[in-house]
A and B are shown apart, each in its own frame.
Chain A
Amino acid sequence: MTEPSATVMQGRSLWADARDRLRRNRAAMTSLIVLGIITLACLLGPALTGHPYDRVYPDYVKVAASVTAHPTPDKIVPAIERVASRLRAKAEDIRVEGDIARLKLVAPRAIDERSLAFFERSDLFHAAKVLAREDEGKVMRIEVPIQRLHFWFGTDGNGRDLFTRTLIAGRVSLAIGLLATFVAILIGVTYGAVAGYVGGRTDTLMMRAVDVLYSLPFIFFVIMLVVFFGRNFVLMFLAVGAVEWLDMARIVRGQTLSLKRREFVQAADALGVGPGGILARHIIPNTLGPVVVYTTLLVPKVILLESFLSFLGLGVQEPMTSWGVLISDGARNIQGASYLLIFPAIFLTTTLFCLNFIGDGLRDALDPRDR
């Protein structure tokens, strides 16, 4: 009887049960996949779109979203004529064949070959190649490769690719969401657990402080923090995290208080387990469920807050951008360029939707009512 059995049966922890329940939740699983795709797109996408996020295309200001490549055929000839006029020449005999335009430049004086660089400087063309020179260089036959560019989501008022900017903005928004949430959780869990576990006067005092912070106008608080830290990306969101911890602290304190009364904590106490062991083995593992759920719901809240600050003009600074910045930009351009609002808004709301569904799914999975 003293030897342990050779085969030890593995148990199923509550976490494993929760994972299975989450897997059966279709909304949450779909959200998880969509969120994964968005995250991946934001991480890798900007390198693949072919446009740096801060590259300005002066020739493509507020181009509407489309799947066809730019320049559109009707734009090529006027653009060539425009460049030609800069060279103080006239473009004649323009023929566009595929991605190459052939033409004849005619000028009153000899054309300086170096001035052909104007073609390359335009967003529409690559470097021009001279095919032939006639009439002492007053007439020049050239070949101009057309630069084909795609602006899936169009371009903004500065002529920057909205697709790339939306993805870069996603990086910023998601990073901000995670960072600030992490700070909020760290402060909130520690504060709440200490208040709840120590109890008594300490608890009363600590929670009274939370109450006072609650009645501070929240916007004012954030604005003050932004004013202090300046528009520094990281510091600012440490500050946001420092504001958002209040709910977390309340939740964890409530959990700790109720856990402290549970019999298994009393049992550990009766065994002589010290406060450290009780916190580490009995209290914290059992608060993790609500903490995880609240975390998933806090990330969208923080992203929303960032967007809100950006909307007020207090967010990330140009040329860096975030979904909130793009949306507020779009909101100013709803007449005529509504795609500037719609695309970033779709990304933002999809992400928020996913996070909410995942949060709800986690809550159901971790706290199954009907057993």
Chain B
Amino acid sequence: MLSFVFRRFLTAIPTLFVVVTLSFFLMRVAPGGPFDLEQPLEAKIMENLQKAYGLDRPLWEQYLRYLGNLVRGDLGPSFYIRDFSVAEILMQGLPVSITLGSLAILIALLFGTVFGTIAGLKQNTPTDYAVVGFATAGVTIPNFVVAPLFQIIFGLTLAWLPVGGWNDGAIRNVILPVIVLALPQIAVVARMTRASMIEALRSDHIRTLRSLGLGTRVIVLHALRGAILPVVSYLGPTAAALLTGSVVVETIFGLPGIGRYFVEGALNRDYTLVMGTVVVVAIFVLFFNMIVDILYALLDPRVRYD
């Protein structure tokens, strides 16, 4: 088990390296630079700025320096949000994104599996159709439609909840964004659970259980244990994506998470900030892939650690 984790860790490092390298050079060959403002800066000031941030050096040197700093855990200063280091910016935003993301994941897992199980058990009944309809709506209606609609309904018309803002993570402020984040995931998880539930219920070993007089409770337990496997592998990358923030939800609800920094950073050519977010996201993705593999091995005895 430990050696399995260690080996997965070892394979993650080259992947991370490739991701960092690819992103670094992709970012740099893109036209424009961090100090191209609407009014061009004086040549002298520009030169000084470039020098101060080391942008006057050859690209490969900048790259090696960045790698060196990265290994020491230094993500560098932000180019655009002056006087802040990238680490500071991310550290401020991450708790917000993680709070929202983890709540959304929990809700999705809970409601998704429950809805999916019920629909799978009651295949081709009105209950099933309702769940399938809801699930299809959940995956088709984009969150940038749902979010403003919720704002109209719950924020303005009914005035139950605030339209936006973080407010130090007050529950009232968190509810709408979490629901908007969770809805499509509930839908996907419900669809997957339903499909694998139906498949499981048709399987030979469930027939064995029925032939031995075991009731619905045991059968659901057995079927669910098998049905949860694909959900686990889906939720891994999804968790990584959700915990690192959603641009749309953070923009619409005006939340200070890190999701926005992709877009803002890329548009402003804030090289270090973008690289910082890329590194954080990649680490999350690799970490959760590893978690999925470990969970999978725990849940499915046929999978071995070697």
**Interfacial residues, chain A to chain B (CB-CB below 8 A):** 211-212, 214-220, 223-224, 227-228, 300, 304, 307-308, 311-312, 314, 327-328, 330-331, 334-335, 338, 341, 345, 348-349, 352-353, 356-357, 360, 369
Contact = CB atoms under 8 A, between A and B. Distances in A.
Contacts of A335: 156
Contacts of B145: 327, 331, 341, 345, 348-349
Interface size class of B (residues with CB under 8 A): 35 or more
A311 B144 contact: yes
Nearest to A341: B148
A216 B32 CA distance: 22
Interface string B116-150: 00000000000000000000110111101101110
A220 B24 CA distance: 12
Given A220-B262, A349-B145, A338 B277 contact: no
Given A334-B148, A334-B156, 16 more contacts: A214-B285, A217-B262, A218-B241, A219-B263, A220-B23, A223-B267, A224-B27, A307-B144, A308-B142, A311-B248, A327-B142, A331-B147, A341-B148, A345-B141, A345-B149, A356-B139
A331 B252 contact: yes
Contacts of B147: 331
Contacts, number: 107
A232 to B, nearest CB: 14
Interface of B: 15-16, 18-19, 22-23, 26-27, 29-32, 136-137, 139-142, 144-145, 147-149, 151-152, 156, 199, 202, 237, 241, 244, 247-248, 251-252, 262-263, 266-267, 274, 277-278, 281-282, 285-286, 289
A227 B31 contact: yes
Given A216-B23, A216-B278, A334-B152, A223 B142 contact: no
* Chain A binding surface, main DSSP class: helix
- Max chain B C-beta neighbours (<10 A), residue from A328, A334, A353: A334
A335 B16 CA distance: 45
Q: Return the 6 tightest CB-CB contacts between A and B, nearest first.
A: A352-B140, A217-B281, A331-B148, A223-B266, A215-B285, A345-B145
25 contacts: A214-B285, A215-B15, A215-B19, A215-B286, A216-B19, A216-B278, A220-B274, A220-B281, A224-B27, A224-B30, A227-B31, A228-B29, A228-B31, A300-B140, A304-B142, A307-B144, A308-B248, A335-B156, A345-B149, A348-B142, A349-B141, A349-B145, A353-B136, A353-B140, A360-B136
A310 to B, nearest CB: 9
B156 to A, nearest CB: 7
Contacts of A214: 237, 285
B136 A357 contact: yes
A327 B144 contact: yes
A312 B15 contact: no
Contacts of A212: 15, 18-19, 22
